[in-house]
Structure formats: C-alpha cells, structure tokens
Structure 1
Amino acid sequence: MAGTKETPRQKMIGMMYLVLTALLALQVTSAILEKFVLINNSLEQSTGAVGKINQGTFDNIRATVEKSGNRATDLVIVKQADEVRKLTADVISEIDKLKEQLVEAGGGRDESGNIKNLSEEEKVAQLMIGTNRNGAAFKLKDQLNGYVENLSKYSGAKYSPMALDGKDDPIASNSPDQKRKDFAELNFAQTPVPAALAVLSQKQADVRRVEGEVLDALASKVGAQDVKFDKIIAMLSMDSKVVVAGTKFKGQMFLAASSSGIQPRMSLNGGAVRMQDGQGIVEFTAQGGSYDKNGLARRVLTGSIAYQTPAGLKTVPLSAEYFVAKPSYQIETGTLPPLYLGCANKLSIQSPQLGALWNPNISADGASVIASGEKGKVTVVPSSANVALNISNSGSLLGTEHFKVTKVPRPSIQVSVGGTPATDPRGVPVSSARSVKIQAVSDPSFAAFSPDDANFRTTGATISLVRGTKRVKFTKTGAGGGSISDLAAEAQPGDRLIIEIDGVQRRNFRGEISDVPMGSLLSQVSLY
C-alpha cells in the first residue's frame, strides 16, 4: 500500500484480519464460527464509520470550493472527489450483494437475524469459486485490483493490489500449501459462511481506507483538510553559532508547529524551495562583494509560504537579514619570505574563519604548485623572477599573493688542513698537513627555509706544494677533500699549500644535481 501512516482504527482492522487468517487455518468449531460472526460485525461497523468520515471529507471539499468562488481549477477537484466516491460506492455495493448471497447460501436468517447454517462451506465454494473456476471471487479480484489502480490516478500514490494470490500474500506465501492457491481458493475454499463474510468485510474496509487517503490528497489541493498543527518541535534560534570565549551566548527558544494536513508551497528570492517532511530546505552559496570596513556584506532574504485554508489560499511573507563575511586567510610562515628559484618553497595557507569549510585550491603564475594532501599546505617551485599565487575556495577566488623570487645564495667554502682552518693566520704545522677537508656550506637562512634544497658539495680540488715561486708537487682530491700525505712527505717549513677547488654542486629536493657558478676558488695555507 501507499506509505501513509495508519490510524488506530486501521491498525485494529489489520489485526482483525490477521486473526481471521489464523482462524481459517484451524478446524472450525461452532465456538469459532461465532467468533467469525463477531469479527465480521466489528469490521462492518468500522467500515461504516470510515465511510462517514470520508463523506465528511468530501463535503468539506465541496464547501471549501464554494467559499473560494467555485474557481475552475477547484471544481475539477470536486469532480474528481465525486468520481472517487462513486467508484467506491460501486465496489462496496457489489461486495454487499455477494454478502447477501452468502447469507442465502447459509440458509438465510432466522427471526432473530442470525444466519441459520453458519458451517455451510460447499455452497460458499460454489458461489465464490464455481465448478469451472468461474465463481464470483474471480470477478471480485478484478474489481478490487482495478479499483486501486483507478484511484492511484487521482492521488498520484501507488497502491498495491487488494486481491492477492497465495504466492503474493505476505502471510499465505509462508505456507507451502497456501502459496499455491489463487485468490478465490485462498479465501473461500473450505470456508464457512461467517468466515467468508469476514473476508469480504475486510476488503470493504480496505476499499474505504484507500478512498479516505485519496480524498485527503484531493482535499489538500483545495485546503479542505482541517489545518491542525499536529507537528510540534522545540527550536532554538541563535544569534550566532560561533561564540568567542568570554562573550555572551544569545538566542531565542520557542515551539514551532506545523500541520501534516497541508502541503505548503515555499519560495525564496523568487525561486521554489525544496520540501522535505513539510519543511523547506534552504541551501545556497553565499555571494560576496560590496564589503564594508568590517569585511561584511549585508544581504536580505525575501520569500513566502503559501498554504490552502477553507477560506482559500493564504500566503505569509517573510524577510530575513544576514551578513556575508569576506573570507580571509593567512600564510603561516611568520613574515612573508621571498621564494627561492627552482626550490621547494613550503607554504601553509590557512583560514580560521572558514574552519571546516576551508578546502582551498591554490594555483600559481610563474611557478608550479605541488599539493601535500593536507588542506592549505603546498610546495611552490618558482620558474620566474615573480610569482603570483592564486588562492580559491569552493570555486571563489579569495585573493592573489605576489612573491619576489630570489636566486639560491652561493654557499661559503670552508677549508681545513689537518683539522686547522685555512683562515688561521699562523698557518699549519708541517707535521699536521696530511689531509685536506673542503666543505661548501649553505647560507643559514636558506638552509632553514628550504633544507631539502640546501645540499652543497665540492666536486674535487687540486692541492699544490709551493716553495717560493716554484711548485714542488701537486695532488688531486675527490669531493670534500682527502689525503695529501705525499705532499706532506716533501713539505718544509715556509712552504705553502695552494688549494684550487674544481667546482661546487647542489642537490635539490627532487634529487637533481646542478653546478653552482662560483668563479675562481683559491685558498692558500702557510706551513711552519
């Protein structure tokens, strides 16, 4: 059936049907037959009560349309409601005729109005199933299923068939014997008169229930349903969801009520609002621009909520003010540094103001940008003298930051002979001059900012032993220096060591090696 909420009366009828189904599976005794009579009477009373409620709904529809001036669109609803009533009356009448025939099959009624032969089963089967499966139950199945199919057109809701074969019935399908039976056999084979009457009364109850749901749907289109505020929820309207520590939290607490009997139409800023459970769901991307000195842009939402009342369509306007804050961000590197050409310049760009909504897209002109996987943290690799960093969030450009790009500072060369710095004015003892250490040391600020790019080394050196103006001997060392013991063997106090560095190389964050232009690199160390 359509997914509508059952009333207590409908739940009771459903429970009685379960009892009826269970009783049909038992060997029938006279006491049980009397129970069937009681069930049938209860079903008939409930069906009659629902019929009166449905008539009241129809009368409300007609009265509301008259109060609204009999507009053409509303008169169409009245016509549809009248058609629903007539379709229902036809089905109810046909079932009533079958019930009278069942009573006659049971020998009619005595002076007290009681059915004479409650246990009659054979005549029930002849009437409802027939000798050649041409009994009244087969026509009834088509009538019931055709009825719900027709009513679905009026409400737009999809209703399941009312007359089911055993394999489709949620209860009978669990029994190997019952699931093989068709609708007629399932409900009327080996069935005494009062049980058959109860089955038909149950179908009448289902018919009235569907009729009521369809009439309610039609009534909502002209506001004929009683507007009862039956949905009440507690609400807390806050001045702000973000409160700074030490400041006051302010808001208003109240009850909000809505009606399940009406289907309001809502609009906001000229557009329709999506509805969910009777509430309008408002969601849009806030547009900035025209910010004041505090970085706020005032905006106003205008809309309306319209709903049908017995007096006609009522529209309630609304207006709400809100402010759009200009998104801000900060580059978390202390002071804004220059970027180093061709190096991994790691930046962290964060926006405490946007919080969880902060998921920036960062691009650059004059550089490539490598994402880190963490929001706002990127590596910028400049390829030109100036870099423009474009910072966007949720498709909106928040700003562009401009950076100067500087070349990687040259390293300083540090030479030591036998552990003594070459810059020592006293020189180096001849006895200690057995090894040379040559280092290319990065600029401290560059090493601190981009440590993965501050990897320098010397490629090699030529060390000459000089006496006066004559070069006595020379040797070559590899990267970083090495042993010069062969020179030390011939060195004398007063000699000099001339150290000529072949070149300097740098390894960047990608592991790539490049030569560093250093010019002529000579060091002289006196021996004593």
Structure 2
Amino acid sequence: MASGKLSPRQKMINLMYLIFIAMIAMQMSKEVLSAFGYMNEKLTDNNITTTAKNSATLDNLATKASEQPEKYASLYETAKKVDGLSKTFSDYLESKKALFLEGQEDLKNYEAMDKNDFINEHFFNGDKYTPEGQEFLDNVNNYRTSIVSLIGEKNPLAANINKRFDTSDQDTEDGKQPWLKNRYEGFPLISTVTNLTSMQMDIKTTQSEIFGTLLGGQLESDVSMSNYRTILIPEKSAFFQGENFKGKIVLGRYDSSLKPEQVVVNGNEIKTIEDGGAVLNFPAGAVGEREIKGKFVFMENGKPVEIPISSTYAVIPKPNSAVISADKMNVVYRGVPNPMTISIPGVPDNLVSASGAGLSKAGGTGKYIMTPSTGNEVKISVTGKLPDGTSVSSSQSFRIKDIPSPNGTIRKQFGYVKMPSSSLENSTVGAELPDFDFDLKLNTTGFTIKVPGQGAVVVRGDRMDSSAQKAIAKAKRGDVIIIFDIKSSLIGNSSYKIKDASAVSIEIQ
C-alpha cells in the first residue's frame, strides 16, 4: 500500500483500510448469494404455475383424444411421451437439488450457501468427471435428443430445444471449456441449485411449446374448408320408445353465416335453421337403430351444390337399472384414486347422482373418483331421473384391496443380480410394482444391507451411505449380499403405508 518506513499509526491505518475493503467484498458476496436465492424462489414459483398449465393442456388433449380419436389420439400419445420424458428428467434434477441441500438447517439462509466443495467432489475428479457427473451430463443430452427425435428435426421448435439444452464446449477467454466445468465447477451451492431450477423451467417451457404446437396445428387444420362434414348432433345419446327425436344436423362447425337453400331429411323439407344447423323434431320410431338420410343444398357460383346427409341414431327401451363399472378392474384399491364411470343409459349426466364412502365427482361426463379407506367392501348407490319424471335407482358393491407388496430393485433389477462391488456401492435401491394396474411412483426411504461376515447395516434413503460402502468394500468375489427391509412411501400419498418390498440378492463379481 506504501513503500518506505511507516509509522506505527500509518501501519494501523493501512491495516484498517484492508479490513474495510475485505468487509465490503464479503458484503457484496452475501448480497449476490441472496440474489441467487431470491431468483431460485421466483423460478420455483414459475415452475409450479407452468406445471399446472401444462397439466391442464395435457388433460385437454386427453379429453379431445377420447372424443375425437382420429384427430387427437396420435397427438395425445406424443404429448404423453413428452410429459413422461420431462417428468423423469425434472424429477432427476429435483433429486440432485435435494442431495445438494441435504444438511442445510435453514433453506432460506442463502448467505450460508457459499460452499462448493461437495458439488465439485460430486461432479469432478480432477480433469475428469465422476460417474455422477457423467450421469448428469448424459441425462441432459438424452432428454434433448429424445425430445428432438420425438418431434422431428424439421420441427421449428427443434433448434430452440437443441440450443436450450446445449452441452457443447463453451467459449471462454482461455479457449474452449467443457460445459459441465463451465457451469458447475467452483460455483457456490445456491447458484448451482438456482441453475438446476432454471433447467427445470426450461423443461416446463419446452413442454408448453410442444403442447401448444400440437394443439395449434390441429386447430389450423380444423378450420380448413376441406374438413367440413355433415354431423348429426342429437339432443341426447339415446331415446326412449314413444319419444320425439330432437337434435341438429350441422356442417363441420357452428356458423350462423351458413345459409342453405334447402335441407331435406327422410323425404321432408326442414324449414327451421339455427346457427347453420337444421333443427330436427320428429317421432324417434321403434326400438333399434334408425337412419337419417337427406341432403344440404347450397348455391355456389350460381349452381346448386348438394352435400349428402347420412347418419344413424339408436332408440332404446326405458332402463330399469344403472350401469356401474370400475375403469381399472372389478375391485378398488386403498391408497390410490380409482377412476370410475357411472351412468344410466338415456339419462343425462346432470340427472344422475351417485353416492358411496370415498366417492367424489371428477371432471367429465359420468366420471367419478373412488378413494376407499377402511373395510373390505364399499357399496355405491346410483339414482337417475327419467325424461318422464320417474326415478330409477341401483347399487353395486366393490371389494377393497390393499396395494400389493412391491419388488425391491437394484439398478431397476429385482430378484438375483450380479455386479461388481464398485457398482453396488453407487447403485440406487428402489421399489417397484411391475404388475400393478396403476402407474404408481414409490420413493425408497430406507433399507438394510447384509454383507457375508459383516454386521447388517441400516441405511436411510435410497443410496448407500458410508457405512454400507465400507461393508461392501470388504465383500469378496462370489459373496452374495442381501438387501432387505426395503421401505418406501407412495409419492402423492405419504400417509398410506406401503408394505416392505421383497429382498434383492447381489452376487459380487
């Protein structure tokens, strides 16, 4: 700070000046750490909002696929694959965040999240990557290539997705640097967590863009004139003997500007036209399938153009019982929402009521959710009001079963597995229900591992801790290690107690 001989007073002043500069630097560093934390909070909130939006869009596609499978079934299948890939990758990133934040007493104290040792050791081994580092890089690359492969390289979104999840070497002042080192080596904990949350936001954005493109492309096709068709829209799906048929015949979509010159149905000219549709009102006829034939006549370039009408409707006798079916099977399972369809043929959904312990109305016509609790059986009662004002009621009982015991897994394999001890030390212990009708996700909360000649080690979580790794390291080739007492919880319903998973045997190679 100065040369030459200094007085004790000047030396003290200089020392205080250095301390002051250091304190400013520390304060700035703390402010930056807090800024990362606040940014992470905002990104997390945005992720929640976008997830809800994507879920609603996917539900909308599912509804459209069930209503118009020719148009939307293939789009829905693509959307489900995108959703599955995105959820798997986002859950993987969430598990990394949980691992990195483990041991942090206060998750809001961002100023204390300035260390980088754990992340450096987790991802890097000198100039090379650890298995976890390579796994992280592979997950990013696999998501990018899988999504682009799914939508096609020629899709306008492909370029943005490739750029959004680009892991190529990065340009720096010192030349090229590997992407993983450039983004994660030497950075404080909170910046890494924020980086992972930002990547989750990129996943949600990618989903939203693809869902929007799928729907937008089909809607653009829908408004094309080449897609106009005659469509019969009855007032209800079936009619009772003796009733009049009520409904409309429209061209493709409702359009009040469509004014036909003439509409003929079953030999009779229809005079009443509403919103581009011919309003029908005639005796439904006898029980069975009835035909509606005729034509729409429009004037085009001064000449009449005929569009044929050809459709059918069903006339059914009055029902005396309800139709109740479990969408999955003839039983309902405790701990999961069981989708059910409840209806009475010929009776509108708004005139049908159903009740039972654990039964609640879901979105969609005739859709319910059964969430059974105690007992071995549940009874569902259904009542409906017929068009003539009379009521019809029925009931049915369903057996209640518990979720079966899952299979314990190691690296997604169950039963008897062979692998080196080094691989076992870094493997994940899981629990799966391979033959269960519901797609349930289980989270491993703990297990016990027994190495021949060593005492049993109880582990919390789904990965080997240091004690387990030390025991595994003493195993010899040919030794059979057993993992048992595998405990798990049901994601989405942690209150339900899942039975212990079956044991896994590992022969050391």
**What TM-score does the superposition give when structure 2 sets the normalisation length?**
0.36
Q: Which has the larger radius of gyration?
A: 1
Compute the TM-score of the two structures, normalised by the length of structure 1: 0.35
